[in-house]
Structures are given as C-alpha cells and as structure tokens.
C-alpha cells in the first residue's frame, strides 16, 4: 500500500517556514505584468485555491463516512493532511499575488463535502473512484497551468518558486491518483459513469471559478 | 519619451490644469529634455485617446498614483492609511466632482450612468489598504471586508467633496461604527450557533419518533 508521504524539504515548504516570511520570493508579486498575464495569473491561482478548498472538503466528507475503516480511513486521512498543506500554501499565494478568491467559496465547501460523503456512502471503491476522477482533472489542469506560466518573467524571484510549487502540487495530486487506483477505484460500481460525471463536474467548476 | 512616462509627468500638473487634455499636453515641458512647445491636440489624441477618453486615462493614472501614495502613511493602521489617501485628494479637490462624473458617464450614451468605475475605485482603495496592513482574509470575508472598507472610504470621500475640514473626524466615526456593526454581526452569528446546537441536542434527546 503506497502512502502519501512527500520528502521533507520541497518547494512549498518555503511558504510554511516562519523564518522565510520576509523573503521577497514569497511576499512580492512581479510588478508591471501586462494586463492579460496578470488576469491569467489571477484566474489560475483563484481556480487552484478553490480546487484545494474543494479537495479538503471532499476528503473531510469521505472521512465522515469512512473514517473508522481500518484500511481506507488512514489512507484518506493521509491524503487529506497533504491537501490541508496545499490549501495553506494557496492562501499565502493569494495574499502574495493579490488574487481575488472565488465568490463560489462556500459553494465549493458544501459541494466538496457533499461529493465526498455521497461517494463514500456508495462504498470504499466509489470513494476511491471519486478521488481518481478529481485528481485526474486536477493533475491535467496543473499541467496546463505550468505551460501557461512559461510566459511569466523568470527574473522576478516569485516566479520560479510559483512554478516549482505548482509542479510539486501536480505531482502530489497524481500521487493521490495512483493511490486511488491501487486501492481498487476501478472496481467501483458504475465506475465509468461515476468518473465521467465527477470529471465533468470538476471541469465546469474550474471554468466557473476562472471567471467568478 | 513614452506614453507611461508622459502620463506620470502629467499627474502633478493636475493641480494646475485639472483633469484636462491641457495637463497632458503640458507634460512634455517636464521631460528631462523639455520640449519647446506643448503637445498638439492630435498628438494627445494619438497617445491617450480622443476627447474625454484622454481625460479618463489621466484620471485613472492619477487614481493609481494616489493608491501608490497610500503606502507613505505614517502608521500601518486602516485609519491612517485611509486618512493618507484622503489627503491625496486635497490639492485637486475642486476638480474631483467633474472627474468622477466623467468616469461615471459612458462612452456611447447607453446605459445612462455607469456605476462600475466608482465601485472599482472604492474597492481598489479598500484592497490596497488591506494589503498594506497585511490583513489575511479568505473566502467571503475577503469580499465583506473590502465592501465595508470601500463603503466607508466612499462615504468619507463624498463628505470631503462637500466639507473638507471635517472629513477626518467623519472617517474616524465611520470606522468606529463599522467596527461595531462587524462585532455585532459576529455576536449574532455566535448566538445563532448556540441556539442551533441547543435545538440539535433537544431533537437528538427526544429519541426515535
């Protein structure tokens, strides 16, 4: 059984290290970005923050139902702890780059919890299938963002940090995807239907959060 | 000589010429190698837009500059930062009503009035103030905090246009009452939470119906 423990020093730890809280790489945003790039960065980080928020609540919903299961419980708890860390870093990025958070904040919380709880009630495999579908969409989304971020000015210290943080989060989410598959997500009842519905829902949510 | 550079040079001229195309055309006198003649009207149109669009560009640049100056506030409190921003208005106070009217008037005539620039102005002042103080708000609190501060600032600015001497006391009283409203709402929310939990306990203890 694979666990979700990352190496101890990774790019995002600079945001969680109290000694580094004055570092310009974590406190300043590139000045004088062209309007379209600023807008793209704003919507990208807004979606990422909403995604991490929803992921937190999905795992919370799944834990509410499956928390007592001896195998699945600790697994979900592990993945949830990583998502909590992701959300903390995203909140710091929000302040740093002066991002407007999504208006759908409360909706993301409720919908995430609902999705997690409902799929967990359908069974352990369904919960894993939900995780698989969500992490697939998120992993691809982070990948697309990394390609868009190629255009940001690499001379500003915050940009390489941002790119490495997004890379790290992408790898974490794909790690969760692997864990879900290893834990029999493919055996879930109506796996194809469930994955399609959850995946489509995630894509709609991403498009909405980009705009509002 | 570039468009942003000329715009920056035109900003201090607003005190003398107002938010007019004249301020833009006289900006070339303040270049490191000053021109001998002011910019022609067609040059102002080419660089900044025709008619009132040029004036709107100047107003936006002046507002952005005033936001940058908020950082020079003596102490990092919301009150001091908003006071600092209101002080920026003082040299150009007589030109501001027309400037805001220009921003609110649409380029094409429909709809009759555009409230968005005013909301954006109040919102961006509030956002800058929160950023300078280092407030960390997430979720809907981000919006409610900026809405509150934006409303306080907008009311104070309108007051300043009519009665500039009493504006700082007015700002202080607005900030006090908004603080009281926020804490009253929070208390109401906590109390509602207690009531909700009591009811949940009562319903659970009644057992199966």
Please report whether residue B31 resides in a domain.
yes
pLDDT of the residue at A13: 83
Residue B68 lies in a domain: no
> Hey, what CATH topology would domain A34-211 get?
Ferritin (1.20.1260)
For residue B66, what pLDDT is reported? 94
Are B43 and B77 contained in the same domain? no
Residue A105 Cα, gap to closest chain B Cα (Å)? 5
Residue in this structure with the two tokens 């490495």, named with its chain if needed: A164
B142 interaction partners in chain A (CB closer than 8 Å):
100-101
Domain match, B109 and B6 both: no
User: What mean pLDDT comes out for the span A43-71?
Assistant: 93
Contacts of B50 (CB under 8 A, 6+ apart): none
Are residues B46 and B97 located together in one domain of the fold?
Answer: no
Predicted TM-score (pTM) of this structure: 0.86
Is B136's CB within 8 Å of A91's CB? yes
- pLDDT band at A59; cut points 50, 70, 90: very high
Which residue range(s) make up the domain with B184?
73-206
- Most trustworthy range by pLDDT among A2-6, A153-157, B55-59: B55-59
pLDDT band at A205 (very low <50, low <70, confident <90, very high): very high
Taking the domains of chain A in order of start, what are their residue ranges? 34-211
Residues of chain A in contact with residue B127, where contact means CB-CB under 8 angstroms, are 98
Q: Is the pLDDT of residue A4 over 80?
A: no
pLDDT at B39: 84
Give the nearest partner residue to A98 out of B131, B138, B140, using CB atoms. Answer: B131
Check whether residue B183 and residue B88 sit in a common domain: yes
Domains contained in chain B, number: 2
B126 vs B150: CA distance, rounded Å: 5
Give the tokens for residue A91. Answer: 């909140």
At residue A12, the pLDDT reads 81
* Binding annotation of A for Fe cation: 52, 83, 86, 135, 173, 176
Q: Residue A8 above 80 pLDDT?
A: no
Q: Does residue B65 lie within any of the structural domains?
A: no
**Between B127, B131, B139, which is nearest A101 by CB?**
B139
Which residues in A lie closer than 8 A to residue B138 (C-beta atoms)? 91, 94, 101, 105
Least confident of A24-33, A39-48, A100-109, A161-170: A24-33
For chain B, 209 residues long, the average pLDDT of each consecutive 10-residue run is: 86 91 88 84 87 90 93 91 94 93 80 85 95 90 92 95 93 92 87 93 81
């Amino acid at each position: 059984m694979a666990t979700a423990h990352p190496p101890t020093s990774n790019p995002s730890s600079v945001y969680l290290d109290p000694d580094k809280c004055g570092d310009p790489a974590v406190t300043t945003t590139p000045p004088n970005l062209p309007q379209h790039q600023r807008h793209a960065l704003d919507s990208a980080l807004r979606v990422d923050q909403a995604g991490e928020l929803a992921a937190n609540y999905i795992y919370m919903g799944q834990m509410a139902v499956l928390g007592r299961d001896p195998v699945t419980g600790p697994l979900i708890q592990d993945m949830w702890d990583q998502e909590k860390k992701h959300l903390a870093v995203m909140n710091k990025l929000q302040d740093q780059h002066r991002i407007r958070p999504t208006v759908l904040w409360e909706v993301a919380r409720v919908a995430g919890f609902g999705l997690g709880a409902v799929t967990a009630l359908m069974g352990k495999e369904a919960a894993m299938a939900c995780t698989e579908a969500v992490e697939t969409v998120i992993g691809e989304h982070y990948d697309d963002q990394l390609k868009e971020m190629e255009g940001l000015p690499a001379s500003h210290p915050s940009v390489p940090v941002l790119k490495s943080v997004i890379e790290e989060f992408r790898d974490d989410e794909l790690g969760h995807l692997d864990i879900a598959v290893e834990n029999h997500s493919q055996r879930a009842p109506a796996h194809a239907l469930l994955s399609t519905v959850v995946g489509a829902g995630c894509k709609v949510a991403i498009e909405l959060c980009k705009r509002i | 000589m570039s468009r942003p550079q000329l715009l920056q040079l035109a900003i201090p001229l607003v005190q003398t010429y107002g938010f007019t195309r004249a301020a833009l055309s006289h900006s070339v006198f303040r270049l490191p190698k000053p021109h001998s003649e002011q910019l022609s009207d067609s040059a102002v149109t080419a660089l900044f837009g025709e008619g009132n669009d040029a004036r709107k560009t100047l107003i936006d640049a002046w507002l952005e500059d005033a936001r940058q100056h908020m950082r020079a506030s003596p102490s990092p409190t919301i009150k001091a930062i908003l006071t600092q921003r209101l002080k920026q208005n003082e040299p150009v106070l007589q030109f501001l009503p027309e400037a805001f009217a220009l921003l609110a008037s649409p380029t094409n005539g429909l709809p009759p009035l555009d409230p968005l620039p005013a909301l954006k102005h109040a919102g961006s002042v509030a956002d800058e103030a929160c950023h300078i103080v280092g407030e960390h708000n997430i979720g809907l609190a981000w919006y409610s905090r900026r809405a509150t501060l934006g409303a306080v600032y907008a009311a104070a600015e309108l007051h300043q246009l009519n009665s500039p001497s009493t504006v700082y006391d007015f700002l202080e009283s607005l900030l006090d009452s908004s603080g009281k409203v926020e804490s009253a709402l929070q208390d109401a929310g906590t109390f509602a939470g207690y009531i909700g939990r009591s009811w949940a306990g009562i319903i659970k203890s009644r057992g199966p119906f």
